[in-house]
Copies of this chain bind each other. A is one copy, B any other.
């Protein structure tokens, strides 16, 4: 189970199209409220376009160095579009990790400009752009998290889990 954001990618190693397909397919096959699947996935694997998108983000400059990125587009007419798409994202992240690729969730960006670059219809929402790539180093540790005892309860809020 990956709990790590990876922002440095091996620029010499590009993912095969079959690898990319497996990752986005894990997103496509995700469960969603009433099986509505309120999502689209746009794969970006061309260096110039990765750079163009990276430059339109505040926290995603590393997209430029990714092997590929997936723009996750949702349909806001569905009440659960963001929640459902987040579930699909996590499926893609875990599938990618299984295949040896790291990623990070990029949230701060000029959504309207990126939507223009990717020709996304105006009525759809750009949730995130997810860069993927082979890590340049081993990730052994886990990021710090709040203690189990402050996060998990048994039976009622505040009751300790034994």
For chain A, the count of residues having a C-beta within 8 Å of the partner chain is: 65
Q: How many copies does the complex hold?
A: 2
Contact check, B21 vs A3: say whether CB atoms are below 8 A apart. no
Contact check, A42 vs B1: say whether CB atoms are below 8 A apart. no
Known: A24-B152, A35-B143, A120-B157. 10 other contacts (CB 8 A): A1-B29, A41-B152, A42-B152, A43-B152, A45-B154, A86-B87, A90-B94, A94-B94, A117-B156, A118-B155
User: Chain A: residues with CB nearer than 8 A to chain B?
Assistant: 1-5, 17, 21, 24-26, 28-31, 33, 35, 37, 39-46, 49, 73, 80, 82-84, 86-87, 89-91, 93-95, 105, 107, 117-121, 124, 127, 142-146, 148, 151-159, 161-162
Contact check, A155 vs B49: say whether CB atoms are below 8 A apart. yes
Which residue of the partner chain B has the closest CB to A103? B31
CB distance from A22 to the nearest CB of B (A): 10
CB distance from A23 to the nearest CB of B (A): 10
Which residues on the B side are within 8 Å of A83 (C-beta)? Answer: 82-83, 86, 127
